[in-house]
């Protein structure tokens, strides 16, 4: 049967860009990023089981500039996905749908994750230099 | 007029062809992951160092290796559910979709299994 191109109802292009859809996309994006982090976590655990030398090699990879970039990215992704995930759980239970609640919880998730990521970086930095 | 029941019409619709089981499992695992991930995150952060000896000693403690195994199992399942939904939503060609979903499933079992095996090796010192 020939596939006929039928008109579709307008969807994405008629909506104004706002915090709700941005965070929805960011939730998926951080989820996929964290899935890649699972591979890194697996590598780290395997290197630990392998002994002192393989562990040291893995830690050199994580301590490199690229490694640190990814670690900070995964830290933010984890914290945001966690906070926004709790936000989703509240919605699933039927709470927090009002416009101001949605916006407040959204900003709390983004800014909270950013702030906590900065705190983690500071704690680790402090630990490395004392 | 359609003689199909409302239930009959919605069954098998959507990009995944089913839904509630997946949706519910995603929520249950997410609740379990709140304490598990926080435990792992803060344990690592509060260790005096991340050198081989410190980390190995910490992970070899029975409660640590037990919780780490639970974490990997639930995390793997939760992540599998999530990335599966992403592929179902964005990959439209039927053949590629089935193949990528199959590949994804194998990869999760591989990495999840390897992680748990690694934790067991640390726990039992082999």
In the numeric block, which tokens belong to residue A106? 């959204």
Count the Cβ atoms, other than its own, within 10 Å of residue B70: 16
Cβ separation of B52 and A46 shorter than 8 Å?
A: no
d(CA A128, CA A59): 14
The per-residue pLDDT for range B51-78, each reduced to its tens digit, is: 999 999 999 999 999 999 999 999 999 9
pLDDT band, residue B16 (cuts 50/70/90): low
Cβ separation of B111 and A35 shorter than 8 Å?
A: no
- Name the residue in chain B with its Cα closest to that of A47: B118
Q: Which residue has the higher pLDDT, B94 or A28?
A: A28
Contact A53/B at CB under 8 A:
no
Query: What integer is the mean pLDDT of A41-52?
Result: 97
The per-residue pLDDT for range A94-120, each reduced to its tens digit, is: 999 999 999 999 999 999 999 999 999
Handedness of CA B50, B54, B57, B58 (dihedral sign): negative
Say if the ipTM goes beyond 0.90: no
Residue A49 burial (C-beta neighbours within 10 Å; 0-12, 13-18, 19+): buried
> In A, which residues are within 8 Å of B112 by CB distance?
42
> In A, which residues are within 8 Å of B115 by CB distance?
41-42, 45-46
Residue that the structure tokens 């966690």 belong to: A82
Radius of gyration from C-alpha coordinates of chain A: 20
For all residues of chain A together, what is the average pLDDT? 93
Radius of gyration from C-alpha coordinates of chain B: 20
By the 8 A CB rule, do A75 and A120 touch? yes
Answer yes or no: is pLDDT of A12 > 80. Answer: no
DSSP A16: P
d(CA A113, CA A107): 10
By the 8 A CB rule, do B87 and B100 touch? yes
Tell whether pTM > 0.80.
Answer: yes
B69: helix, coil or strand? Answer: helix
The per-residue pLDDT for range A50-92, each reduced to its tens digit, is: 999 999 999 999 999 999 999 999 999 999 999 999 999 999 9
* Min distance B3 CA to chain A CA atoms (Å): 25
pLDDT band, residue B1 (cuts 50/70/90): low
Nearest to B116 by CA among B78, B83, B71: B71
d(CA B15, CA B5): 21
DSSP A128: H
- Name the residue in chain A with its Cα closest to that of B33: A82
DSSP B17: S
* Min distance B4 CA to chain A CA atoms (Å): 24
Confidence (pLDDT) at B100: 96
- Name the residue in chain A with its Cα closest to that of B87: A32
């Amino acid at each position: 049967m020939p596939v006929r191109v039928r008109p579709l109802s307008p969807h994405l292009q008629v909506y104004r860009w706002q915090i709700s859809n941005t965070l929805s996309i960011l939730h998926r994006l951080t989820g996929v990023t964290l899935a890649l982090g699972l591979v890194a976590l697996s590598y780290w655990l395997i290197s630990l089981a392998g002994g002192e030398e393989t562990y040291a090699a893995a830690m050199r990879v994580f301590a490199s500039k690229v490694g640190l970039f990814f670690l900070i990215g995964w830290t933010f992704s984890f914290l945001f996905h966690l906070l926004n995930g709790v936000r989703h759980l509240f919605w699933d239970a039927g709470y927090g749908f009002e416009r101001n609640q949605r916006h407040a919880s959204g900003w709390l998730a983004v800014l909270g994750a950013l702030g906590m990521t900065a705190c983690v970086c500071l704690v680790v930095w402090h630990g490395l230099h004392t | 007029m359609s003689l199909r029941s409302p239930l009959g019409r919605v069954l098998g619709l959507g990009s995944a062809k089913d839904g509630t089981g997946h949706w519910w499992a995603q929520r249950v695992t997410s609740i379990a992951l709140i304490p598990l991930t926080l435990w792992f995150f803060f344990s690592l952060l509060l260790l005096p160092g991340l050198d081989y000896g410190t980390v190995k000693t910490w992970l070899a403690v029975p409660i640590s290796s037990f919780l780490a195994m639970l974490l990997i199992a639930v995390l793997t399942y939760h992540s599998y559910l999530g990335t599966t939904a992403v592929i179902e939503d964005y990959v439209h060609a039927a053949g590629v979709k089935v193949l990528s979903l199959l590949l994804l499933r194998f990869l999760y079992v591989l990495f999840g299994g390897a992680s748990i095996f690694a934790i067991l090796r640390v726990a039992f010192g082999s």
